[in-house]
Amino acid sequence: MKGAFIGGAVVHQARLTKLLLDRSVQIHYIGIRRQRPDVGGQKAEGSGTRVSVMVRPREFNAEDVLEKAMQLFWAKGYEATSLSDLTAAMGLSKSSLYGTFGSKHELFLSAMDRYNETVAARFAAGLIDGAKDSRSGIAAVFDCFLDDMLGAGEKRGCFANNAAVELAPHDAAVAARAAAGLAQLEETFHRAVRQGQEAGDIATGRDARALARYLTASLNGLIVLAKTNPERAALDEVVGIVLAALD
């Protein structure tokens, strides 16, 4: 059988834990064997618990399949995504899914972590950094989300927002990750507002942190509103009032 056999010596708990958390390998066997007990008050040579572990490299890239799970959860939500949906999208068997990510709930949390590390950390910042000034960049973030919500494709909105609405009231782990994702958006807005105030394209009469929170709350409220009232003219009016706070 392919793979490395770790046996004949004690596998320390820290090393075993590292193996169990390593998504690049797959655990095929864990054997636990008690050695000889103490004899006459003296510990016999080689006594104690020995752990043997057999591992081999995974035949898939865990980050790639996690990306596919994230996209599916983002589009359908937690409850509406079945295990069959996940195995089909990820190209994994149930045993490989469970062996790599644990339960469906654990996979969802990992997908949220990936969203926070990739999309939440980069999307808005990229739009703002690519604009001619901070105010234009902030406006571009709102426009881009509206384009996504009102376009012909999937109206996914923000994964952190979706998860917060669906699960956060009764799931502390989801709530914490949703809060982390929204906090990244707030920090992006805060940086943009401060830079805009320094450059003169955003008024200095309001506190930059308060404006960042207002923009974050407004954008997420707008995403929810767009799901129920997808009328562009009405939504653009809301955006205009929100952006007026920067003047």
Its sign, for the CA torsion 125, 176, 154, 229, is negative
User: What integer best gives the mean pLDDT of the chain?
Assistant: 83
Specify the pLDDT at position 28: 45
- As a whole number of angstroms, the distance between CA 99 and CA 28 comes to 10
Supply the pLDDT for residue 58: 55
Number of neighbours of residue 3 by Cβ within 10 angstroms: 15
Specify the domain boundaries for CATH 1.10.10.60 within the chain. Answer: 62-115
CATH of 118-244, one of 3.30.1490.20, 3.30.230.10, 3.40.640.10, 1.10.357.10: 1.10.357.10
Whether residue 139 has pLDDT greater than 50? yes
Kindly report, as residue ranges, where domains of CATH 1.10.357.10 are found in the chain: 118-244
Q: Which one-letter DSSP state was computed for residue 201?
A: S
Q: What is the pLDDT of residue 34?
A: 54
Measure Cα distances from 35 to 29, 73, 159 in Å. Answer: 19, 47, 51
For tokens 């045993």, the residue is 95
The pTM of this model reads 0.74
With cut-offs at 50, 70 and 90, classify the pLDDT of residue 75: very high
**For the residues 191-197, what does the mean pLDDT come to?**
98
Backbone angles phi, psi at 55, to 5 degrees: -130, 160
One DSSP character per residue, 61-96 reads: -HHHHHHHHHHHHHHH-STT--HHHHHHHHT--HHH
Count of C-beta atoms within a 10 Å radius of residue 66:
19
pLDDT tens digits for range 116-131: 999 987 889 999 999 9
For residue range 145-170, list pLDDT tens digits in order: 999 888 877 778 899 999 999 999 99
Name the 3-class secondary structure at 131. coil
Architecture of domain 62-115: Orthogonal Bundle (1.10)
